[in-house]
Structure 1
Amino acid sequence: MTIPLDSVVGELYLVGGVPQPDPPHLAVLTPPRRAARDRREDTLFIFLDLGPGTPPALLVEMIRRLASAYWRRAGSTTAALRHAIAQANAYLLEENLGLPPSTRRHGGITCAVLRGNSIFLAQSGPALALYARPGRVRRYEQGVPLPKPEGEVLFAPAPDSELALGMSRGVAVHLHHIAVQPGDLLLLTGPTWTSELPQGGLEDALTQGRAEAVVAHLSRLAGDASFSALVVEARLPVEVEEGGEVQEAISYAPPEVSAPLPAPEETGGEPSVRLPLPRSRVPSLPRLSWRVHLRRLADWGVLGLGLLADGMRTLVTRTLPEPEAVPARPPRRRSEAEGNVLLMAGVAIAIPILIALLVVALYIQRSQTAYFQGLLEEARREMEVASSLTSDPETAREHWQAALGFLEEARQARPNDETAQRLYNQAQTALDRMEGTVRVQPALLWDYGASRPYRLAVGPVQLFTLDPEAGEVVQHTLDATRANVVEKEAPVIAYRGQQVGEERMGALLDLVWMPAGGQRLQDALLILAERNRLLEYNPTWGLKRLALGQPPQPLVPRALGAFNGKLYILDGGSSQIWRYEPTAEGYGSPESYFVAPPPDLSQAVGMAIDGSIYVLLADGRIVKLFGGEPFPYQISGLEQPFVRPVAIALEGDKEEGAIYVADAGADRIVALSKQGAFIHQIRADGDAFAEITAMAVDGASRTLFLVARGRLFSFRLPPLPEG
């Protein structure tokens, strides 16, 4: 499970080149309080295009009904989008039926839902959306506008003879699934708004990088024309302190209206980039069935039920004896005949109820079956398109991802369906092959019960875990397979407040396994504590304190490293790496690793050493150092940039082997060559790689250990390519 993304939204609404406030035809909505459980993590974006001159009140009411239907609909995202668009279409059709043909409104709509790291895109009627990530822009377009001589704008049907919104009870909805990365851009607009823009103008605008820049560029591009668009930029979540101001995500919700809105005024303002509004609340409305043929099935079922109930009522009435008139007399005990009458009446009531339950059950079953089969059909269609795009791997990848989105919903609907699982495996295998993904099945070694920024160090047969928040280090003894822990209880070998010698230890900061080398004769675990204290743990001799020389200024330790008996401490405060030589008592005064002014290492999150030093920065860059100086190192072939790297480890000698980077933001481990070339990325099914906080590699057994969501896992590293 990856980190759910936030969005930054920019809106543009120009009439004759003049920005207008509160566009009634677009909306960005967050879930109301009483949203269905399946909708509570969604953000809904709507762009409605019914042509110029459409009454604002009509647009707002359509959006209100669509949003209400979407938030109340449980189940899959795609089913909720189909249902919501059908609701909006039904309202527009009803409005049109009461108007003269010359004043009826028709058009198209694009809805997008951001959920976690996915966007579900739904379009009906003439509609236009563009999706951009660095180096590529893709258009999602349905239908074309056709102006009539009297100025009314209608739309030509799409090639498959689909109709615009408001023309028929049946509505065709095109669905797409997009795997989102931070920095990706989604632009929603409509065909009637883009007729005056230069060709390729939308694509050029999306190269501006940020949502604010895209909106500004589109405003300049439109000039004196009328134009509107909604721009969504995916970004990592922004931490907002209580009482602080939001710096990133912005949102817009349409106002509720009970009367037609006034015509737009010329405000002379700027294109709007709005801060989040409170959660939108949409009044509840009756829901319209999302499939016309199922609604007809229900109608016929109800009709048949009514006829059957009438027939049963007549049959029972004719079967019962006629009532006889008798004079009034004192109450008497009920006769057997009267008891039979009550029994028959009960049967007459029960039979229609049972039939009604049977019809409802049949309706629900057929609805679920139609929904499930629809997901499989959508997935097969995407897979067929992806398989045919052998010369366009980027577009093929998007179709494979869309197929996986539909199949994931199908698996949720029917977890044990073999067809859905087979198609899912087929699509996943194809996508993994394209993305250089190797899937592993990690073994669960331990469950610490809480997700924290753990640290790991691995020895010949032991694994050590530091929990900085709990302030303790535990030891695990591994079996020969490295897939099991020997002890049932993990012994604590060091803890905050522990008396070691004549001093009580403070917070424990980091740890590293120090192999013997140079003047150091024994392997041991080194633990750095606050106030520049160093502890040594030997599984045979126990815990003791070592001397550690003081640097020129207080340390801000970001990572520890070990090589050939020497201890390295990366100091984030001074962007310095301090190198300590071993002595009889511990480690002497530090010396600077750098022979020249050091590079900026203030954002370092990890360090690994094999003779060269590799420093991982928070933005995903790797700084390679050799001989006290930076050494050229450029990552190549990595299609998806690092989202949130948290740890780095090495395997092999100085020139061969690989560098492993744990990317907590994308639930993966990326393998790079020592020269920076992408080798492959390692993923696991399920949530074994969700929220990785620590990683270590045992080169001797080629085993990788990691902590994710407070659980310790291990797996054997996949083979590296020869040469």
Structure 2
Amino acid sequence: MELQAVAGQLYIVNGQAQKSSNTPGLLAQSAPDKAARGRERDFLFVHLTLSGQPEETSVMAQDLLDTISSRFYEVSGSVTAALRKAITECNQLLLRYNLGSSELAREGALTCAVMRANELFLAQTGESFALLGHNFGIERFPPSRPNSITPLGRTAGLDIRYFHNWLQAGDSLLLADPRLSHIPTEAFNPVLVDSAVEDGLEELEDIVGQDSARVILVEFTDEAPGFLPDADRPAVASPSGQQLPPPTKPPVRESDSEVVAVGAATPTTQLPNIDVETVETTARKATSKAALGLSRFTGWLADLLGKVYPSDRQEESSTNWAIPTFIAIGIPIIVAIVVSGVYLQRGRVARFGELKNQATSTLVLAREASTPSKAEGYYRDTLSILSQAEELRPGNGDLASMRQEVFNGLDGLSGVARMAGNLIHQFDLESRLTSLTLGDGQNGDIYVLDGLNNRVYLVAAGEELENSESVNAEVILFEEQVVGNHIVGPIQDLMWRPSGNQVTRDGLAALDLRGALISFFPNFGDTRAVPLALSSDWVQPTAITSFNERLYILDPGAPAIWRYFAEGEGFTITEGQQAIEFVEDAELENVVDLAIYSEDGSVILLYGDGRLRRYVNGRLLWNEEVLGASGLEQPLIAPVAIKIVGQGLNSSIFVADPGTDRIVQFSLGGTFLAQYKATDFEG
């Protein structure tokens, strides 16, 4: 049975309930006779608030309500499209009034709700306020105060917020003035949770107290009202928005509130209570008896056919009996399978509904949690429940929306900024990308090291990055390649080497574990190799960087950071300065990457266990404890790379941490600034 809506309105001024059947700015209406295609089953509820006193703006409010009603029921198509059209024209009408009138400009807040069968569509603009009560709790619309609010009638551009919910019998909807939004959501439990309209309106009077308010309270039910008007159909709001007089029975407090039923035509007789378990048992017995009767009939039919068409040969007799025998046995089995499937499917549907309701209630608790830690716990619980529900119904849109809201909530708690990425080039699955560096400039080329196949690729940049299909990866360096007198060996790391006093061209530098630095110059596409002294002392070099044209090689196996001074295109070693010295043990054996600040030569070390430290002249300036105190709530777990981006005081440290699927940004002073994740929530 489709749900019905029993709507009541309440108008209170300074604590006194008004005896009025036409409250300014409220509308509860069923579809008129000449509604557009698709609108016949839609029931519209509107709450409009205009600046100024309601009695001063009642005529204008009624004109706006008439505009919303007529436009909504004139537009075919989706509910959201019709709501958008109606709200837009309402805004244009109010805006024209404000621009053409010398009187005080009127601005407003608007909530429009549409019930179609078991669905509820909600659209809001301005500082509007609505609540939807379930048997497990209350949802607030909007869930939190928007960052920016554009009132109705101020500009031609509107920020319309859309919401969608599935309704169940017993749910209740409250459309109220924004002035009530300061009241805690829990205070409305007696109004919206397991409460009839009449009782809810009484509770609302107590909640409003000596304040003023205009509210619409709607109860969604699958039962026919006990008393209806004389006609065979429920009382329905008229197309103009004025509601019909309430029924005289059952008694309601005189004129304090008005209750009408809005829904499909319903008989006035009271249906008897039905024992669902008895009905199911009876249905199963009837099905089994029907199958048995069908089996007996099939056997009788087979016997009759055997007598009418006798056979002289045993083979023909066997053949003739095969089909009737199959029918006699197969049909009851098929019936049993179908009946069992129906009950199994019903169980899955019921379980899915339970999980969805549980996820919704937990999500409501997360929104209204008193502390961030409690909110995070509720969000995590919601994810677990959603995973169970998605196993029963994969690809469900409502579950996907809730999952999206959970991720947004978790991001808000942890200060995560989501970033969308574009595919530039897809490497083979047999590749393992171990190093990446960018050429000079904002749109510099991208150089990628495939450590598994020991190849270096050049990915052209520029405008082509917008179209992944046109970006090719060109191999510029590979193992056993002959470069001058050098044969390329295993390549460990890449860096961009800008031009300076010693080298006149910008280029890519690659560390060859055979004791050389290989340079690729993109301007002419030539490659050169220079030997590095003391390479026999290397144990396990892992990363390279540069400062003031010097080359630094991180060697956790030694453990040391080797220092090479530039001399032309090559490098030399200075006695006594072969490596960076630290005042205290820097535990270089645990370092996975390093960066050197170009302004003062300070060294930032990244450790595999999540530590991050900065050293100046060999002395520790700050460590991971300082980072934690600066706002880094979730520590680094398994970081792999570090990069300094920017110039001077605008420089920042960026750390790639696959262990937490994020990139974390710090200032050079050791302050946590931000963290970034991918928009697909997979890291």
TM-score, with length taken from structure 2 = 0.51
* Structure with greater helix percent: 2
Aligned equivalents of 1:443, 1:382: Cα separation in 2: 35
| CA distance 1:313–1:560, change in 2 (3 Å) | same
Matched, 1:675 2:669: yes
Deviation at 1:352?
2.1
SS in 2 for 1:655: helix
Provide, for residues 292-340 of structure 1, a one-character-per-residue CA deviation record: whole Å limited to 9, x for no partner: x9999998776444222122234445667769999x99659979xx999
Who is 1:358 aligned against? 338
Provide, for residues 58-113 of structure 1, a one-character-per-residue CA deviation record: whole Å limited to 9, x for no partner: xxxxxxxxxxxxxxxxxxxxxxxxxxxxxxxxxxxxxxxxxxxxxxxxxxxxxxxx
Who is 2:613 aligned against? 623
Aligned equivalents of 1:407, 1:681: Cα separation in 2: 26
Who is 1:406 aligned against? 385
* Aligned partners of 2:431 and 2:453 also within 8 Å: no
Deviation at 1:485?
5.5
SS in 2 for 1:581: strand
Q: Which has the higher contact order (CA 8 A, sep 6+)?
A: 1
Who is 1:593 aligned against? 580
* Aligned partners of 2:566 and 2:572 also within 8 Å: yes
SS in 2 for 1:635: helix
Who is 1:658 aligned against? 652
SS in 2 for 1:649: strand
Who is 1:118 aligned against? none
Deviation at 1:354?
3.2
Provide, for residues 14-43 of structure 1, a one-character-per-residue CA deviation record: whole Å limited to 9, x for no partner: xxxxxxxxxxxxxxxxxxxxxxxxxxxxxx
Aligned equivalents of 2:645, 2:608: Cα separation in 1: 21
| CA distance 1:594–1:370, change in 2 (3 Å) | same
Aligned equivalents of 1:616, 1:371: Cα separation in 2: 49
Matched, 1:684 2:678: yes
Q: Structure 2: 5+ residue runs without aligned partners?
A: 1-274
- Matched AA of 2:518: L
Alignment of 1:410-429 (within 5 A): 410-429=389-408
Aligned equivalents of 2:429, 2:276: Cα separation in 1: 47
Q: Of 479, 482, 503, which residue of structure 1 is paired with 2:486?
A: 503
Who is 2:511 aligned against? 528
- Matched AA of 1:638: L
Who is 1:21 aligned against? none
Matched, 1:442 2:421: yes
Who is 1:469 aligned against? 452
Q: Of 505, 524, 532, which residue of structure 2 is paired with 1:548?
A: 532
* Aligned partners of 2:431 and 2:452 also within 8 Å: no
Aligned equivalents of 1:565, 1:635: Cα separation in 2: 30
Aligned equivalents of 1:405, 1:656: Cα separation in 2: 42
* Aligned partners of 1:478 and 1:484 also within 8 Å: no
Aligned equivalents of 1:363, 1:604: Cα separation in 2: 61
Provide, for residues 263-314 of structure 1, a one-character-per-residue CA deviation record: whole Å limited to 9, x for no partner: xxxxxxxxxxxxxxxxxxxxxxxxxxxxxx9999998776444222122234
Deviation at 1:575?
3.7
Matched, 1:646 2:640: yes
- Matched AA of 1:361: G
- Matched AA of 2:537: Q
Deviation at 1:628?
4.1
Q: Of the two, which has the highest radius of gyration?
A: 2
| CA distance 1:299–1:522, change in 2 (3 Å) | farther
SS in 2 for 1:454: strand
Matched, 1:393 2:399: no
Aligned equivalents of 1:412, 1:324: Cα separation in 2: 52
| CA distance 1:294–1:624, change in 2 (3 Å) | farther
SS in 1 for 2:423: strand
* Aligned partners of 2:492 and 2:510 also within 8 Å: yes
Deviation at 1:538?
0.6
| CA distance 1:380–1:682, change in 2 (3 Å) | same
Deviation at 1:627?
3.5
* Aligned partners of 1:571 and 1:577 also within 8 Å: yes
- Matched AA of 2:614: K
| CA distance 1:448–1:343, change in 2 (3 Å) | closer
- Matched AA of 1:456: L
Aligned equivalents of 1:345, 1:541: Cα separation in 2: 83
Q: What's the % identity of the aligned pairs?
A: 28
- Matched AA of 1:362: V
Who is 2:364 aligned against? 384
Provide, for residues 510-567 of structure 1, a one-character-per-residue CA deviation record: whole Å limited to 9, x for no partner: 1111122343332111111123211111112411112434379335322111234322
Aligned equivalents of 1:588, 1:485: Cα separation in 2: 42
SS in 2 for 1:537: strand
Aligned equivalents of 1:332, 1:519: Cα separation in 2: 105
**Once structures 1 and 2 are overlaid, which stretch shifts more, 427-436 or 631-640?**
631-640
Aligned equivalents of 1:477, 1:325: Cα separation in 2: 87
Provide, for residues 614-661 of structure 1, a one-character-per-residue CA deviation record: whole Å limited to 9, x for no partner: 110011111212244332242122222222111112222243343222
- Matched AA of 1:577: I
Who is 2:555 aligned against? 571
Who is 1:247 aligned against? none
Aligned equivalents of 2:610, 2:276: Cα separation in 1: 51
| CA distance 1:682–1:299, change in 2 (3 Å) | farther
* Aligned partners of 2:594 and 2:606 also within 8 Å: yes
Aligned equivalents of 1:294, 1:663: Cα separation in 2: 56
Q: Of 283, 290, 305, which residue of structure 2 is paired with 1:308?
A: 290
TM-score, with length taken from structure 1 = 0.49
* Aligned partners of 2:449 and 2:455 also within 8 Å: yes
Aligned equivalents of 1:527, 1:496: Cα separation in 2: 12
SS in 2 for 1:672: strand
SS in 1 for 2:477: strand
